Amino acid sequence: MSLLELTDVTRAVRLPDDRLLHILQGVTLSVDAGEHVAIVGRSGTGKSTLLNILGLLDAPTTGQYLLEGVPIGKLSNGTRTKRRGRDFGFVFQQFNLLPGRTALENVAAPLLYARGRQFWSRTRLAAEMLERVGLGDRVDTMPDKLSGGEQQRVAIARALVRGPRVILADEPTGALDVETGGEVMDLLDEIASQTGAALVTITHDLAVAARAERQYRLTEGVLVPISLDTTSDWVGDVPTLVADRSARTERRLPDPAGEAEVLA
């Protein structure tokens, strides 16, 4: 049984002119514990929507989403929210640190919604997590006094402090330079593998995606498995591919314009 399993998931929203906008179409994806999966795609292709659905921030219009074999559609809003806090850690492109709070308070913030030992030991746990991401000496520093890389490390510490089973990283290096981005990804990979958490990274940086064990491309709401290496680069709207690991699936999906040439 996979940790996360999406089957034929669609997501559509109604526009003001009453037309339906299909953001995701027939997305099928499974993620196992400890796996690192990357999803690449240009802006507006539905990457964030997919991540929101995975992280229980949004719900599919159709299709099935199983979380450890349990259909999330059967969970109440409250249970979904609690599982989101307990099982998922979010890392955002813009870090989304809480303003006016120190690094320590930011990392401890998710523990305010935990119970028992985690709640009562939140300051100690947050300090330990900051130590772990190399910011043990910046616990009392405000976010605006930290560099971009340090802010993202605080965000990573905050995402991991409750010991999530899945880390959902939305463009985690998008606001960082290449070198700092590489360091942040090293840290994410390291901690995810240490804690056994699955890591789902959404990015349009192919070098970042190439770090994952499995890669997918999202184009106009359609998810396609691909293979990348560190030499991959974007050609038009699609990345150059090392190999198509699921040609059968690919063929079943609508063929975006120009893609066939690249695949060939």
Partner 1 sequence: MTGVVGAIVEAWGELRIHKLRVLLALIGVACAVTAITGVTALVSMLNQSFKEQTERQSGRVVTLNVNAWSMGENATPPTGWDAEFDRVLERYDITYASRNEWTQAVVRYPDGTRATQVQAVDADLGTINRIVPVQGRWFTDADEEAMAPTLVVNEAFLEAQGLSDLSSHPTVQLGDRAPVTAAVVGVLHDDWVDAEPVAYVLYDQFHRWIGPDGSGMQSGGSGPVVPNPMMPPQVPSMYLWVPTEQSTDLGDQIKRDMQAVAPGWEVDVQDNNYNTGGLDRATKWVGIGVGAFALLLGGLGLVNIALVTVRYRIREIGIRRSFGATSGRVFFGVMLESVVATVVAGLVGVVLAVAIIKNVPVERMFGSGIQDMPPFPVSAALVGMAAAVAVGALAGLIPAIVAVRVKVIDAIRY
- Alpha-carbon distances, residue 181 vs 116, 172, 185 (angstroms): 35, 8, 6
Binding mask 114-133 for partner 1 (x = CB under 8 A): xxx--xx-------------
Q: Out of 112, 178, 243, 247, name the contact with partner 1 by CB under 8 A.
A: 112
* Nearest-approach distance from CB 208 to partner 1, in angstroms: 21
Q: Which is nearer to partner 1, 107 or 224 (CB)?
A: 107
CA 8 to chain centre: 19
Q: Out of 16, 69, 99, 264, name the contact with partner 1 by CB under 8 A.
A: 99
Q: Does 20 bind partner 1 (CB under 8 A)?
A: no
In the structure encoding, which two tokens stand for residue 93, read together?
């492109």
Strands 198-203, 36-40: parallel, antiparallel or unpaired by DSSP? parallel
* Nearest-approach distance from CB 22 to partner 1, in angstroms: 17
Q: Which is nearer to partner 1, 21 or 98 (CB)?
A: 98
Q: Which is nearer to partner 1, 195 or 249 (CB)?
A: 195
Enumerate residues 42-71 that contact partner 1 by CB under 8 A.
52, 55, 57-58
Q: Which is nearer to partner 1, 83 or 245 (CB)?
A: 83
# chain residues binding partner 1, by CB under 8 A = 31
The whole-angstrom separation of Cα 176 and Cα 37 is: 21
- Alpha-carbon distances, residue 251 vs 8, 58, 259 (angstroms): 15, 28, 11
- Alpha-carbon distances, residue 159 vs 24, 41, 147, 240 (angstroms): 26, 23, 18, 32
The whole-angstrom separation of Cα 125 and Cα 137 is: 15
- What phi and psi values does residue 88 have, to the nearest 5 degrees? -125, 140
* Nearest-approach distance from CB 80 to partner 1, in angstroms: 9
The whole-angstrom separation of Cα 39 and Cα 233 is: 14
- Alpha-carbon distances, residue 199 vs 125, 220, 236, 241 (angstroms): 21, 23, 27, 22
Q: Which is nearer to partner 1, 26 or 55 (CB)?
A: 55
Q: Which one of 21-29, 94-102, 130-138, 180-188 is the stretch in contact with partner 1 (CB under 8 A)?
A: 94-102
* Nearest-approach distance from CB 112 to partner 1, in angstroms: 4
Residues that bind partner 1 (CB under 8 A): 52, 55, 57-58, 77-78, 81-86, 88, 90, 92, 96, 98-101, 105, 109-110, 112-116, 119-120, 162
